[in-house]
Amino acid sequence: MKTEGIEGFLIETHNWGKTVAFWQGLGYEIQFETDHHSGELRHASGGPYLFIAERPVDQPLHIVPAVAVKDASQFVPPSSATVLHPFEEQHWPALQMMLADPDGRQVGVNAPLPGAKQAD
């Protein structure tokens, strides 16, 4: 099974407020904010979501693309990928597998929870 393409990006930051202000200046709007300096932004014209998450200043920052699949049980990672962790239930709620590409960059593979109603 192939993916549905990139649905969003995790963008880690050391400063939630400044990073959100930057993206708002580019036309993104906050869709929701958590109580731990993270949240989702979307652009009015569409495209992938941005999930901004603040990390400690001593932690290296990453940008992680997320691709969508309709069914985790049918997804087979590319042979050139390294599976960092298999599909695991997340708190947002969804299943997520984490892959590394041949250069070691992370790519999240997101799938609905089994039995979850899917949007058309």
User: CATH number, domain at 15?
Assistant: 3.10.180.10
Domain-located, residue 119: no
Mean pLDDT of 23-50: 96
Residues in the chain: 120
CA separation, residue 79 to residues 4, 8, 32, 84, 90 (Å): 18, 23, 36, 13, 25
pLDDT band of 1, cuts 50, 70, 90: confident
Domain-located, residue 1: no
Residue 89: which domain range?
A: 6-111
Domain-located, residue 27: yes
Q: What is the mean pLDDT of the chain?
A: 95
Domain-located, residue 40: yes
Give the chain's domain count: 1
DSSP reduced 3-state for 13: strand
Nearest CA to 13 out of 64, 41, 54, 59 is that of 54
Domain-located, residue 120: no
pLDDT value at 97 more than 80: yes
The H-assigned helical ranges of the chain are 16-25
Domain-located, residue 75: yes
Whole-number pLDDT of residue 116: 75
How far apart CA 108 and CA 99 sit, in angstroms, is 6
Domain-located, residue 117: no
Nearest CA to 108 out of 74, 85, 91, 78 is that of 85
Mean pLDDT of 86-90: 95
Domain-located, residue 87: yes
pTM of the entire predicted model:
0.89
pLDDT value at 120 more than 60: no
Residue with tokens 């298999």: 86
How far apart CA 41 and CA 32 sit, in angstroms, is 7
Mean pLDDT of 54-76: 97
Whole-number pLDDT of residue 35: 86
Q: Which two tokens stand for residue 105?
A: 């960059």
Mean pLDDT of 83-89: 97
Structure confidence by residue, pLDDT tens digits, 47-62:
999 999 999 999 999 9
